[in-house]
Amino acid sequence: MVLNSLDRIVTGYFPEIQARLTVANVTDTARTLERNHLCGPTAGLIQAELVGGAALLGTLLERPNQAISLRLIFPDGLLGGATIECTSGFTIRGYTRQKVIAALDEATCSDEELFLRALGKKAQCGIVITEGTSASNTLFNASSDTSISITDILEEYFCTSLQRSALVQVSGATKNGYVSCVHALMCEILPEADADAFIRTRKRFEAPEVLRLLDDGAGLTELADALGLGHAEDIQEHPVSFACSCSSERVINMLSALPKADLEAMIAEGRPHDIFCHMCGKGFTITLEQLKGLL
């Protein structure tokens, strides 16, 4: 299922300092997942930032049939874990292990305390790139002295696992308990840049003005000016949207692989069964006649 979206990811190359800047607006996609999974405010916000991170990870894909997924476990966080996936066509799907966290959804606490209790201070991370039936897997751990964030996890992957000089910022916001906006930003200083380019850019990247511009939905040119990157070349823009490959046919195929005894037990209950896709939240009703047909 694919829904229309106004979301975009834009990338530009800046030859003056040998840098690449990527800006993503994924608000519609995040809202769709939030609605499909019936997320509470906490899970909805974190899932939204994961969508922004997935869009940045999607820039690593080079061939049409590839997909990249980020799989997380938060051992000391109430959210438990999450999985988010982006294809080479920038279609995104995913879920959080907990959809509603009453202790946080009903609490009045600061953003710092919210993320600390939801995610904790460390994460066990896996990045999986698939292409057809083949897959490559990168495992790493991320931690923070305060509370772990989606930004921390992405920078750990780009800078440590991939050995790329990347600066990342993911910013999500909610209003009245629902996702209101989600933006992501990544600036990569290329190996050809001079030795001090990364340090200079990082000082500007961490300035409050850049985060404000990102929250306001600023475009590539405005953010590049704030970072002092100069004139952009080779600007590329791609639409981003929610999509999932689930279907009733896939559900039937999955059920057909169950042992005969399991199918007979489902039929013995004498009612239809609802099967939900954990990646997108869509439900499929399987009738008694369909279950009997599988026998």
Tens digit of each residue's pLDDT (9 = 90 or more) over 250-280 = 888 888 888 888 888 888 998 888 888 888 8
Euclidean distance between the first and the last CA atom of the chain, given in angstroms as a whole number: 29
Give the mean model confidence (pLDDT) for residues 228-233.
93
In this prediction, residue 161 has a pLDDT band, given cuts at 50, 70 and 90, of very high
Per-residue b or e along 50-81, where b marks 16 or more CB atoms closer than 10 Å to that residue's CB: bbbbbbbbbbbbeeeebbbbbbbbbeebbbbb
Q: What's the confidence (pLDDT) of residue 253?
A: 87
- Same domain membership, residue 261 and residue 213: no
Summarize pLDDT for 13-32 with one digit per residue, the tens: 999 999 999 999 999 999 99
| 229 pLDDT higher than 80 | yes
- Of the chain, the percentage scoring pLDDT greater than 90 comes to 75
- In a 10 Å sphere around its CB, with 0-12 CB exposed, 13-18 middle and 19+ buried, how is residue 105 labelled? middle
Domain that includes residue 182, residue range:
8-242
- Same domain membership, residue 227 and residue 253: no
On whether residue 1 sits in a domain, the answer given is: no
Q: What's the confidence (pLDDT) of residue 280?
A: 85
E strands in 144-277: 165-175, 178-189, 233-239, 241-242, 273-276
Cα distances (angstroms) measured from residue 193 to each of 75, 158, 186: 39, 17, 16
- Same domain membership, residue 139 and residue 264: no
| 2 pLDDT higher than 50 | no
Q: What's the confidence (pLDDT) of residue 3?
A: 47
| 73 pLDDT higher than 90 | yes
Tokens of 143: 């931690």
On whether residue 3 sits in a domain, the answer given is: no
- Same domain membership, residue 271 and residue 181: no
| 1 pLDDT higher than 80 | no
| 172 pLDDT higher than 90 | yes
On whether residue 183 sits in a domain, the answer given is: yes
Q: What's the confidence (pLDDT) of residue 4?
A: 61
| 58 pLDDT higher than 50 | yes
- Same domain membership, residue 166 and residue 126: yes
- 119 touches 148 (CB < 8 A): yes
